[in-house]
Amino acid sequence: MSIAHAVPSVTGGSSRWLLLGSLALNLFFVGVAVAMAIRAPAPPYWDRNVFVRVERLAVTLPPADADLVRGAMNANHAVIDTAQTKFHDAREHIHTVLRQEPFDPAALRAAMAESRNARLAFDQLIQGIFATTAAQMSGAGRHALADWPPGRKSQQK
């Protein structure tokens, strides 16, 4: 066998493996592209609306405790909605002040103070409702509330 016969066989075999490798790589990328195209994005878990978040929490509670939480939220719906709107508006005001030209640091500080105050009022309202409601809940409901979000390890000792 001469060198002339050995070289074409090596080249022919190499091109076959190169073709198979290229085909496998192309199939891999096509599979990834198809998977990305048909995959639905995960819905965001966080929602800025407190009523949506409380409903997600309520479905993890025992039924009687969930009814208590829903009832307390419904009984205070108008007050909660007003406080939530004031907080969201105060946050939007910060964005507005940041976009103003010329920029005014004092106005930003005032907008941030307004946002802090609105957040504090909102938090105190929600926490007050939960404190009152928790006093009426079962032990299992309070434990589920303490272990929120689901899957969080209990802090019992």
Distance (Å) of CA 15 to CA 8, 29, 132? 10, 21, 76
Residues, the chain, total?
A: 157
**Radius of gyration (Cα) for the chain, nearest Å?**
30
Q: Do 129 and 72 touch, CB atoms closer than 8 A? A: yes
Residue 12 burial class via C-beta count within 10 angstroms: exposed 0-12, middle 13-18, buried 19 and up: exposed
> pTM of the full predicted structure?
0.67
Mean predicted lDDT score pLDDT of the chain:
86
For the stretch 26-54, pLDDT in tens is 988 888 888 877 886 766 666 788 999 89
Segment 120-134, tens digit of pLDDT: 999 999 999 999 999
> Residue 86 has what pLDDT?
97
Tokens 């076959």 belong to which residue?
A: 16
Domain boundaries, the chain: 1-39, 50-146
Q: Is residue 154 within 8 Å of 143, Cβ to Cβ? A: yes
Q: How many CA atoms lie within 13 A of 97 on its CB side?
A: 18
Q: What is the mean pLDDT of each run of 10 residues along the chain (157 residues)?
A: 52 76 88 80 74 91 95 96 96 97 96 97 96 95 88 59
